């Protein structure tokens, strides 16, 4: 895909080092962040990545959640070996040739991953510097939940062109995502906007039920003056396909969830083109 012009350098906070050489070869680097765990970061990451791959881009996805890496499972990559070569660590290949790198690919399913602080930072750095992505149009980074040291180290190591923030409609989630947004701003990265996940459930009769409250994500986006990227409904198929290792945008493109992801990716692309 040749739609992306040149490699452009995102605005960088003072004191953040230059990106490693392998990272420089990726044209657009975006991260998916949330203030709270379990709101759908991984779901959003893999579906954004898959939607971009569907559009013909070369896409990589980096799972940086060391304690709960589940991107590989969500992409059907269980027990797929990864190789360290003289040219670096070669990512696994997921659907639509997406390049997938995760600590989850280096441990057996069910093995506990217990990392102490310094080891964590080191593991993240090794990851970032040694993965051989080749030339990519997009890298989607699934960040660990929260606003602690782990997401911070990743965001410092990989200069980002933008950050997508995921929330659910509940007050607590909104409060936490506001904190995450402030962290993004402090790092002088571009917030691409807010995705509200699990916004509503469509009953068999067609009625929309807003189980967790109404309009919180949109209101927060307005208050914080960032784009509202869209609402994603609750659909059991999301879980079903995720467990089968297929993002819903590939498994069921006409589903309302898949349509919501298409619009979200349109809005992300628009903003990245503007910034170019
Ligand atoms: N819109 C949705 N409809 C139905 N189920 C969903 C939806 N979004 C996410 N889920 C399910 O909710 C669970 C949590 O989602 P996910 O793993 O994406 O969250 P996360 O923010 O990455 O969590 P963690 O903080 O543990 O990494 C998963 O089982 C996922 O399949
Ligand atoms: Mg996750």
Q: Which residue has the tokens 């980074």?
A: 141
Measured distance CA(134)–CA(241) in Å, rounded: 29
Q: Report domain extents, the chain.
A: 30-275
Note down pLDDT in tens along the chain; length 276 residues: 445 554 555 555 555 557 888 888 999 999 999 988 889 999 999 999 999 999 999 999 999 877 767 899 999 998 787 777 888 888 999 999 999 998 767 655 555 555 666 667 777 777 788 899 999 999 999 998 888 888 888 898 899 999 999 999 988 888 899 999 999 999 999 999 999 999 999 988 989 988 888 888 999 999 999 999 999 999 999 999 999 999 999 999 999 999 999 999 999 999 998 877
| Cα angle 138-143-145, degrees, rounded to a multiple of 5 | 155
CA–CA separation, 163 vs 29, rounded Å?
A: 9
- Helix (H), strand (E) at residue 267: helix 256-275
Rounded Cα–Cα distance for residues 138 and 152 (Å): 20
What predicted TM-score, i.e. pTM, was given to this entire model?
Answer: 0.91
Contact between 275 and 8 under an 8 Å Cβ cutoff? The reply is yes
The pLDDT value recorded for residue 92 is: 92
Ligand 1: which of 146, 239, 255, 264 to mutate, judged by most atoms within 8 Å of the beta carbon? 239
CB burial of residue 64 (10 Å; 0-12, 13-18, 19+) = buried
Ligand 1 centre to CA of 134 (Å) is 30
Token output for 151: 């997401």
C-beta separation of 82 from 91 below 8 A:
yes
CATH architecture assigned to 30-275: 3-Layer(aba) Sandwich (3.40)
232 lines ligand 1 (CB under 6 A): yes
Nearest ligand 1 atom, CA 239: 31
| Cα(127)–Cα(25) distance, integer angstroms | 15
Ligand 1 lined by 165 (C-beta under 6 Å):
no
Task: Give the C-alpha separation, 14 to 28, whole Å.
Answer: 20
203 contact partners, CB below 8 Å, separation of at least 6: 209
Q: Which ligand is nearest to the CA of 146?
A: 1
């Amino acid at each position: 895909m040749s739609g992306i012009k040149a490699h452009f350098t995102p605005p960088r906070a003072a004191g953040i080092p230059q990106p490693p050489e392998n990272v420089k070869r990726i044209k657009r680097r975006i991260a998916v962040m949330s203030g709270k765990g379990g709101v759908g970061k991984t779901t959003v990451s893999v579906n954004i990545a898959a939607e971009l791959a569907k559009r013909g881009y070369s896409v990589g996805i980096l799972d940086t959640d060391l304690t709960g890496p589940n991107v590989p499972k969500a992409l059907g990559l269980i027990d797929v070996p990864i190789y360290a070569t003289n040219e670096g660590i070669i990512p696994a290949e997921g659907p639509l040739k997406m390049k997938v790198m995760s600590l989850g690919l280096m441990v057996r399913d069910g093995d506990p991953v217990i990392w102490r602080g310094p080891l964590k930072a080191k593991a993240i750095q090794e990851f970032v510097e040694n993965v051989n992505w080749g030339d990519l149009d997009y890298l989607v980074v699934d960040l660990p939940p929260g606003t602690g040291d782990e997401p911070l180290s990743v965001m410092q190591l990989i200069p980002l062109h933008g950050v997508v923030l995921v929330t659910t409609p509940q007050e607590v989630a909104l409060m936490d995502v506001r904190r995450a947004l402030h962290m993004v701003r402090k790092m002088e990265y571009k917030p691409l906007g807010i995705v509200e996940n699990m916004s509503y459930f469509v009953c068999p009769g067609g009625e929309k039920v807003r189980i967790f409250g109404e309009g919180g994500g949109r209101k927060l986006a307005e208050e914080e003056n960032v784009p509202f990227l869209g609402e994603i409904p609750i659909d059991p198929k999301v879980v079903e396909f995720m467990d089968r290792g297929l993002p819903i945008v590939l498994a069921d493109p006409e589903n309302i969830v898949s349509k919501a992801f298409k619009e979200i990716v349109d809005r992300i692309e628009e903003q990245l083109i503007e910034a170019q």
